[in-house]
Amino acid sequence: MTLVEIGPPAFDVELTIAYASADNFTSKPVYARPGCYLHPDAAACLATAIKLARAQGLKFRIFDAFRPAEAQWALWRHTPDPEFLADPNRGSPHSMGAAVDLTLIDGSGRDLDMGTAFDAFTPRSHHGDLEIPVAAQRNRAILLGIMTAAGWDFFRNEWWHYQLFNPRGRYPVLGDAALPTPMMPAGTPVAPNLKA
């Protein structure tokens, strides 16, 4: 199965791949290079979401999409918190190319206020949190409406995370070897739940 590369011009999005920099909860790069890929089913849903957002004068900024299983293990070893991270023993929808982390940006390229930063591991990141400003609640509702109308499911603990419905059992867990060019640093061992 070939993953679809996500980015302009085919996909009108901004890419800020968080795990390719130190600007993430581990405070160091996890990926050796930025890359944005999705399973073809997820890419089709994203294309629909892009059209729906464009009709409102909005675009997406993508923080992460396909996450090699090796990266999921690295994140889990750093912060094994099942409230915010999928246990790599079960397989993350990200490692299936079936999930995307994103936000909305306006016509000037500014992020809409969502009440917390991406990857803020706090109850304030939960959908329906009433402690964040009303404007941020509204922005989350707009994002939720666009994504669910485009065929995505949401994860209640993270306003930024959307995935295909019931991905486990439908899509295989993939490692870095599924990519045409590796994203993981050279010498990264193959994930334990993948065949070498």
> Residues 165-169: contacts with CB within 8 Å, 24+ apart?
167/93, 167/96, 167/98, 167/99, 168/90, 168/91, 168/93, 168/96
Q: Which of 66, 72, 16 is nearest to 42 (CA)?
A: 66
Q: How far is CA 32 from the centre of its chain?
A: 17
- Say if residue 85 is exposed, middle or buried (CB neighbours under 10 Å; 0-12, 13-18, 19+): buried
Q: Which of 187, 194, 174 is nearest to 32 (CA)?
A: 187
Q: Hey, which residues are catalytic here?
A: 158
Length of the chain: 196
For 91-101, b/e burial (b = at least 16 CB within 10 A) is bbbbbbbbbbb
